[in-house]
Structure 1
Amino acid sequence: MADLQPFRGVRPAEALGQTLCTPPYDVVSTAEARAYADGNPRSFFHVSRPEIGLPPGTDEHSEPVYAQGRRNLERFFAEGWLRQDDEACFYLYRQRMGAHVQTGVVALARVDEYDQGLIRKHELTRPDKEDDRTRHIDTLGGNDEPVFLTYRAVPSIGALMEEGMRSSPQYDFTTEDGIGHTFWRVNGSLNTRLTAAFHEVPMLYIADGHHRSAAASRVHSLRSQRGESGGHSRFLAVVFPHDQMRILAYNRVVKDLNGLSPEAFLARLGERFEVTRGQSKTQDRAHQFGMYLEGAWYQLTARPGSFGATPTEELDVSILQNNVLGALLGIRDPRKDERIQFVGGIRGTEELERLVDSGAWRVAFSLPPTSLEQLMTIADAGEIMPPKSTWFEPKLRSGLVLHLF
C-alpha cells in the first residue's frame, strides 16, 4: 500500500514561480549555479546550492555552507518570496517537453515504507553524497527538493488527476530549456479520494533521488534520537505513473584505451561483439551500442553468450561494463574511476563526438535507454543497477514546493 499524505506546502508567491525556481542542485556545478543565479537574489540556488553566496573556493560541504542555506531560506520567508499554504493538500505537477507530457502527484511519502522496501530502489548511493544531503536537509529543517517516484499506472488515479487539473493552476511557465511547468493545488474531497486511490498501489519505485531518500531516512533517525517531533517521518516526493515516464540513454566517454592500440582494441572487441563500421550513432535496439573512435562511428552488437540471464546482467549498461569498460579498459569501479565520464542522452551524440575530438577523451559509447519495466523488474528482484543506468527527462524544477518539518 502506498501511504501518501497531503501537506502544507511552502511555495513561491505566485508571481515569482519562474523567477525563483531552478534546475535540481545535482545537475549543475557550483560555477554554473553561481552564473545562473547572478543578479537574481530570488534564485532558489541560494537555498539548494548556498555556496554560491560565499567566496569562490569555499568547500561546498563545509558547515558555513549548510548554515548559509538555512539563513537564505529564512530570508526567502522574511521577504515574502516563499509562503506556507494554510491547509494541507496534494499538488499536481505537469511537465511538457515537446510532444512528451507527464503529470505527477506531489505528496509526502513515508520514511518507514522506504526503510521496509515498500518504496523500492535500484541504485547504490555514494557515502559522500548521502552525507551531504543528510546535513543539508537536517540544517534546513525540511526537504527542499523532491524525490522522483513512479508506480505502475492505475486508471482511477489518472482520472482523479484529470479532475484536479480542471481548476486554474498556481503556476504555468516555460523555462529557458523550452520545458513547460504547470502546477495545481488539489482542493476539497479530491485529496481524500487520491489518498484512498494510492492505497491500492502496492509499490512505489525511486526513479531519481536515491541520495535524497537515503538522507531523509537518516535525518528521521537522527531527529528521533534527539527526541525531536515533527514531520521528519515523511519526505517530499513527486509520484508519476510509469507509462508517462521518459528515460533517455546515459552514454559514456573514456580517456584512454588502457594501453591498447585502436587496432588491438577493435580486435579484442570482436571477440565479444559483432563490430560494424559506419552504422547509426544512436541505438534503440537492445544489446547494440554505438562507439566513436578515431573520428569514426562503429556499431557493436553483443554476441550470444557474452552476458548472463538475470535482470541486471541483461541490462545494456551491464553488458558494456562487463565486456568493455571492465574487461578491456580496466574500469572496475565506474563510480570512482576518473578515466570515465557519463554523458546524459539529452546532450546527443554530438557531445560525444565533441569530447573525443577535443583530445581529452579517447573513445565514446552510446547506449540504448533502459526501460521503466527493466527498472521495476530489477527493483522487485532486489537487484542493483550499475551506476548511471538511467537519465530521466524532463527534470523536476526545484523551488516549486518545499516540505518543512
Structure 2
Amino acid sequence: MAKIIPFKAVRPTRDKVSLVTSRSYDEYSPAELASQLDFNPFSFLHVLNPAYVNQQKIGLEKRFKLVAQKYHDFKEEQILIKEDKPVFFIYEIQSKNQQFTGIIAGTAIADYQNNVIKKHEDTLQYRVELFKDYLHQTGFNTEPVLITYPDNTELTAWIAQKKQGDSLYEFATTKREKHILWKIDDDAEIAWLMKQFDTIGNLYIADGHHRSASAELLYEQDHASGNNNLNYFMSFLIAESNVKIYEYNRIIRDLNGLSKTAFLEALSAEFWIKNKEQQLWKPSKKFEFGMYLDGEFYALLLKDEHSFTSVLERLDAQILYEKVLHPILGIGDLRNDERIDYIPGKLSIVTIKEVIDEGEFEVGFMLFPTDISEIKSLADNNLIMPPKSTYIDPKFRSGLVVYELAP
C-alpha cells in the first residue's frame, strides 16, 4: 500500500509564475542562463545560482547557504508564498504533440525503504551525498521525483473532473509548452485521494533516483530531530501509460584500433547487417539497432533473440553493451569511460550524424526505446538498468512548487 500526503507547498504568486519558474538549471546553455539572470529578476534561477551577480567562485557550503538566503529573500519579497494548509496539486503540461497530467504529493520514505516505491537505476554515492548536503543546508526541494502508478479508471475520471474547475495557474513558456496547475484543498477530496493510493500495491520511480536516495540519506541523518517533513519527499505521480520513454543513443570516439572492415566483420558474428546508405534509419522494434559509421547508416538485426534468461539480458541497452560496446569496442565503464557519450532519443538522429561527421566521434548506435513493462519488471526483480538507458518525459519546472524540509 502506497502512502501519499498533502503538504504546505510554497509557490509563486499568480501574477509572477511565468517569470519565476524555469527549466532545470543544467538544461540552459551559458548564454541562455546569462540572459535569464541578467534580465529576469524573478527567475528561480537566481535562487539556484545566487553567486551570479558577483561572479563569485565559492565553496559548496557557502553556496548552499547563499541559496537558502536567496530563497528566504524570495519569500520575504512575496515572490513566493506558502499555503495555509496542506494541499495536493494536479499539474498538466501540454505541448504540440503530448499532454502529461499527474498529482503533486508527498511520498513516504518508509515506502521507499520497504520497496513499495520501486527503483530500477543505480545511484552514484557522491551525487547522493552532495544533494543530501544541499537539502540539509537549503531546507527545500523544488525537483520532485517522477513516479508512475498503474492506470486507474477512478483516478483518471476524478482528475478529468477536477480539471473542469478553475485553475490556480495557466501559463505558457518560450518552449511552446502550456502549464496548468489546480489546487486540491478540500478535506474530503484529500482523504479520498489518499485512500485511492492506499489501495495501490506499488509505485515505480521513473526519474529521480538520486533525489529519492538523497531524501532517504537526509532522513537517516536528521530524523532524530523529530522533523516530520523529513519523513516524505515531493513526487509527481503520473499514470504509467502517460509517461514518454525515449532511448539514450550511444556515440563512440573510435573503433578500438579496428579497421572499418574488421569492425563490421566482428559485428556480423551477432548481427545481420544491412547497409542503409544515406537513409536516416532507426530501429522500429526490440532487438534492432541503428548504426552510423563512415557516412552511412546501417541496420543491425540481432541473430539470436531467444538465448536470454532474464529481463536485464533482454534489454536492448544491455545487449548492445554485452555484444558490441564491451567485447568489440572495449568500453568497460558506461558511466566514466571518456570514449563514450550519450544523445537522448528526443533529439533527431540527424544530431548523431552531424556529431560524427564533425570527426570527434567515429560511430553511433541508435536504440529502440525501453517499454514501461520492462522498467517495472526490472524493478520487481531488483535488477538495475545500464546507465543512460532511458530519457523520460515529463520534466518538472523549478520553482513551480516547493517542498520545505524545515519544520
The TM-score by the shorter chain falls in which range? over 0.9
Q: Once the 2 structures are TM-superposed, how far is the Cα of residue 97 of structure 1 from its aligned partner?
A: 2.4
Rounded Cα–Cα distance in structure 2 between residues aligned with 1:136 and 1:80: 23
Superposed CA deviations along residues 242-296 of structure 1, whole A, max 9, x for unmatched, are 0111111211111111111111111111111111111652222101111111111
Contact 1:148 1:206 in 2 (8 A): yes
**What is the percentage of aligned positions where both structures have the same residue?**
32
Superposed CA deviations along residues 80-102 of structure 1, whole A, max 9, x for unmatched, are 11100112111001112223212
Query: 5 Å matches for 1:102-141?
Result: 102-141=100-139
> Which of 267, 270, 273 is equivalent to 1:272?
270
Q: Once the 2 structures are TM-superposed, how far is the Cα of residue 396 of structure 1 from its aligned partner?
A: 1.5
Contact 2:282 2:299 in 1 (8 A): no
Aligned to 1:83: 81
Partner SS state of residue 318, structure 2: helix
Contact 1:256 1:361 in 2 (8 A): yes
Partner SS state of residue 14, structure 1: coil
Aligned to 1:371: 371
Moved >3 Å (runs of 4+): 25-38, 48-54
> Which of 259, 262, 285 is equivalent to 2:260?
262
Q: Once the 2 structures are TM-superposed, how far is the Cα of residue 45 of structure 1 from its aligned partner?
A: 2.0
Q: Once the 2 structures are TM-superposed, how far is the Cα of residue 115 of structure 1 from its aligned partner?
A: 1.1
Aligned to 2:159: 161
Contact 1:289 1:366 in 2 (8 A): yes
Aligned to 2:251: 253
Contact 2:243 2:394 in 1 (8 A): no
Identify unmatched segments of 5+ residues in structure 1.
none
Contact 1:252 1:364 in 2 (8 A): yes
Rounded Cα–Cα distance in structure 1 between residues aligned with 2:307 and 2:76: 58
Rounded Cα–Cα distance in structure 2 between residues aligned with 1:257 and 1:36: 41
Aligned to 1:317: 317
Output the amino acid matched with 1:155. T
Query: 5 Å matches for 1:192-231?
Result: 192-225=191-224, 227-231=225-229
Matched, 1:394 2:361: no
Q: Once the 2 structures are TM-superposed, how far is the Cα of residue 119 of structure 1 from its aligned partner?
A: 0.5
Rounded Cα–Cα distance in structure 2 between residues aligned with 1:148 and 1:26: 18
Contact 1:94 1:103 in 2 (8 A): yes
Q: Once the 2 structures are TM-superposed, how far is the Cα of residue 325 of structure 1 from its aligned partner?
A: 1.1
Contact 1:272 1:306 in 2 (8 A): no
Contact 1:307 1:319 in 2 (8 A): no
Partner SS state of residue 346, structure 1: coil
Aligned to 1:361: 361
CA gap of 1:319–1:107, structure 2 versus 1, over 3 A, is same
Comparing 174-183 with 197-206, greater Cα deviation is found at: 174-183
Q: Once the 2 structures are TM-superposed, how far is the Cα of residue 129 of structure 1 from its aligned partner?
A: 1.7
Rounded Cα–Cα distance in structure 1 between residues aligned with 2:131 and 2:362: 34
Output the amino acid matched with 1:346. K
Output the amino acid matched with 2:48. S
Rounded Cα–Cα distance in structure 2 between residues aligned with 1:149 and 1:173: 24
Matched, 1:340 2:337: no
Partner SS state of residue 38, structure 1: helix
Contact 2:245 2:390 in 1 (8 A): yes
Partner SS state of residue 172, structure 1: strand
Partner SS state of residue 4, structure 2: coil
Rounded Cα–Cα distance in structure 1 between residues aligned with 2:292 and 2:51: 37
Partner SS state of residue 66, structure 1: helix
Output the amino acid matched with 1:179. E
Q: Once the 2 structures are TM-superposed, how far is the Cα of residue 321 of structure 1 from its aligned partner?
A: 1.1
Superposed CA deviations along residues 204-237 of structure 1, whole A, max 9, x for unmatched, are 1100000100000011111124x25241110000
Aligned to 1:308: 308
Output the amino acid matched with 2:147. L
CA gap of 1:244–1:305, structure 2 versus 1, over 3 A, is closer
Superposed CA deviations along residues 147-188 of structure 1, whole A, max 9, x for unmatched, are 100011111111121222121111212222222211110131
Superposed CA deviations along residues 30-51 of structure 1, whole A, max 9, x for unmatched, are 7764454332222212233445
Rounded Cα–Cα distance in structure 1 between residues aligned with 2:383 and 2:249: 22
RMSD: 1.8
Partner SS state of residue 291, structure 2: strand
Partner SS state of residue 5, structure 2: coil
Rounded Cα–Cα distance in structure 2 between residues aligned with 1:315 and 1:139: 39
Rounded Cα–Cα distance in structure 1 between residues aligned with 2:139 and 2:78: 19
Aligned to 2:145: 147
Query: 5 Å matches for 1:3-14?
Result: 3-14=3-14
Output the amino acid matched with 1:216. A
Contact 1:179 1:394 in 2 (8 A): no
Equivalenced residue count is: 402
Partner SS state of residue 341, structure 1: strand
